[in-house]
């Protein structure tokens, strides 16, 4: 009887120690201030942080401030600063910036991104619609904290 109880207790400890680690929702994980590390426009790299020959050096000013739970501050490569709200889609595959003011050119105040890689220090986003500011390109942003 004592052996059965000991075995049951041991198995309980083993299985409870092996439970999978709970991963926080993406909205919680990306709630930070992000800056551009690498930007591609239609698969052409136009910015790499620290490079001296960037086609668009203005991306050094690019900021995506998601540090507030609902408010976003978005600073584009040309220095345009917009504020609005942000949310992650229910399937956690898209980041939506909405009610942006002033409205970025051709957006009706909304910019959507497909969420790629997410780590504690890196966020990869792909715009779901073309950017008029960059000549109608689909842009991929590799962002880092800061």
pLDDT tens, position by position, for the chain (146 residues)? 556 665 555 555 455 555 567 788 999 999 999 999 999 999 999 999 999 999 999 999 999 999 999 999 999 999 999 999 999 999 999 999 999 999 998 899 999 999 999 999 999 999 999 999 999 999 999 999 98
* The pLDDT value given to residue 23: 82
Residue with tokens 């889609």: 89
Query: d(Cα 47, Cα 112) in Å, to the nearest integer?
Result: 21
Query: d(Cα 8, Cα 2) in Å, to the nearest integer?
Result: 10
Query: d(Cα 119, Cα 30) in Å, to the nearest integer?
Result: 8
* The pLDDT value given to residue 22: 79
């Amino acid at each position: 009887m004592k052996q059965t109880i000991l075995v049951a207790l041991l198995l309980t400890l083993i299985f409870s120690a092996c439970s999978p680690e709970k991963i926080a929702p993406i909205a919680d994980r990306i709630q930070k201030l992000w800056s551009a590390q690498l930007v591609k426009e239609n698969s052409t790299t136009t910015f790499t942080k620290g490079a001296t020959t960037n086609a668009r050096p203005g991306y050094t000013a690019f900021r995506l401030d998601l540090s507030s739970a609902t408010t976003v501050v978005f600073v584009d490569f040309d220095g345009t600063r917009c504020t609005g709200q942000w949310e992650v889609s229910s399937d956690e595959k898209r980041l939506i910036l909405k009610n942006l003011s002033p409205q970025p050119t051709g957006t009706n105040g909304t910019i959507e991104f497909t969420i790629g890689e997410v780590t504690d220090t890196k966020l990869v986003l792909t715009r779901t619609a073309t950017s008029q500011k960059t000549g109608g390109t689909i842009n991929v942003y590799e962002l880092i904290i800061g």
